[in-house]
Amino acid sequence: MKILVCISHVPDTTSKINFTDDNSKFDTNGVQFVINPNDEFGLTRAMWFKEKQGASVDVVNVGGAETEPTLRKALAIGADSAIRVNTAALDGFQVAKQLAKVVQDGGYDLVIAGRESIDYNGGMVPGMLAGLTNANFVNNCINLEVDGTNATAVREIDGGKETVATTLPLVIGGQKGLVEESDLRIPNMRGIMMARKKPLTVVEPVDANAETSAVAFEKPTPKGAVTLVSPDNLDELVNLLHNEAKVI
């Protein structure tokens, strides 16, 4: 089985979010970038397929050269080779179109992407990629088994979960649950050394425009101080929620 894992290069959750150029650009100054958490679960599940059932695992990112350390980290975790599509990621549609070309050229059976990335939280790329490549699609995937060309997936739904049957080629939008958090892999020294020798191919983008653009960013207005209510005066809390906040 040929597996492609999409890796988004995102600011670490604890990063302070700031903007430059009159609030039109994300300020990367001092920001630590990591593998998108949802993608990390997918990458570890791909490793499981590789080790238990035999599969090749490639990772891909659409982005400039600055994303290569993130791809190297994925190689250190165990992916066989990495592909970087050499263009800035502008919006979900444009990224999905670039990835679709990689999927078609590589003839992948299974594409694992994260349910959403923690920078723009679009939740667009996995579904768009499935649509563009005519593959089956399972979103919010929390477990996946593959037997030949048949796949069984469990996905989270509002208020519970659902088990579905489908076939390869398949794209999933994965998340926590694909593997246990305790099973997530951290690159070790050997992995890091090996990653240096693994192929990281840079491919040129196809012609695809972004369909949306972030023209300006805003930060939420700073919140006023919390109103503290004494534990001995909970009537006051009920009163505030009813009359001031108007939420009950």
Partner 1 sequence: MSVLVYTESEQGKFKKTAFEVASYAKAVATQLGTTVTAVAINANDASALGNYGVDKVLNVSNSQLDAFNAKTYADVLKQAAEKENAKVVIVSSSADSKYLAPLLAVGLNAGFASNVVDVPSSTSPFTVKRTAFTNKAFSMTTIDTDVKLVAVSNNAFGLVESSGNASAEDFSPTLPESGVTVQSVDKATDKVTIADAEIVVSGGRGLKGPENWGMIEELAEVLGAATACSKPVSDLGWRPHSEHVGQTGKPVAANLYIAIGISGAIQHLAGINASKVKVVINTDAEAPFFKAADYGVVGDAFEVVPQLIEKLKAFKAQQ
Cβ at position 109, least distance to partner 1 in Å: 14
- Of 77 and 170, the one with the shorter C-beta distance to partner 1 is 170
Residue 247, C-beta contacts closer than 8 angstroms, at least 6 positions apart:
241
Q: Does 143 bind partner 1 (CB under 8 A)?
A: no
Site string for partner 1, 99-138 (x = CB under 8 A): -------------------xxxxxxxxxxx-xxx---xxx
Cβ at position 27, least distance to partner 1 in Å: 11
Question: Would you give the DSSP letter of residue 246?
Answer: -
Sign of CA dihedral 84, 90, 94, 96: positive
Question: Would you give the DSSP letter of residue 198?
Answer: S
Sign of CA dihedral 167, 172, 175, 180: positive
Cβ at position 218, least distance to partner 1 in Å: 5
- Of 54 and 160, the one with the shorter C-beta distance to partner 1 is 160
For the segment 51-90, give every residue that binds partner 1 (CB under 8 A).
Answer: none
Cα distance between residue 12 and residue 40, in whole Å = 13
Cβ at position 205, least distance to partner 1 in Å: 18
For the segment 163-222, give every residue that binds partner 1 (CB under 8 A).
Answer: 163-167, 175-177, 181, 209-220
- Of 59 and 135, the one with the shorter C-beta distance to partner 1 is 135
Cα distance between residue 171 and residue 100, in whole Å = 11
Structure tokens at 218: 């805003």
Q: What's at 66, amino acid-wise?
A: E
For the segment 8-47, give every residue that binds partner 1 (CB under 8 A).
Answer: 11, 13-14, 17, 19, 37-38
- Of 32 and 167, the one with the shorter C-beta distance to partner 1 is 167
Cβ at position 163, least distance to partner 1 in Å: 5
Find, among 157, 155, 153, 174, the residue nearest to 165 by Cα.
153
Selected binder of partner 1 within 51, 66, 105, 162 (CB under 8 A): 162
- Of 75 and 125, the one with the shorter C-beta distance to partner 1 is 125
For the segment 218-247, give every residue that binds partner 1 (CB under 8 A).
Answer: 218-220, 223, 226-231, 234-235, 237-238, 240-242, 245, 247
Cα distance between residue 228 and residue 237, in whole Å = 9
User: Is residue 205 helix, strand or coil?
Assistant: coil
Question: Would you give the DSSP letter of residue 29?
Answer: T
CA 207 to chain centre: 23
Selected binder of partner 1 within 142, 144, 146, 195 (CB under 8 A): 142
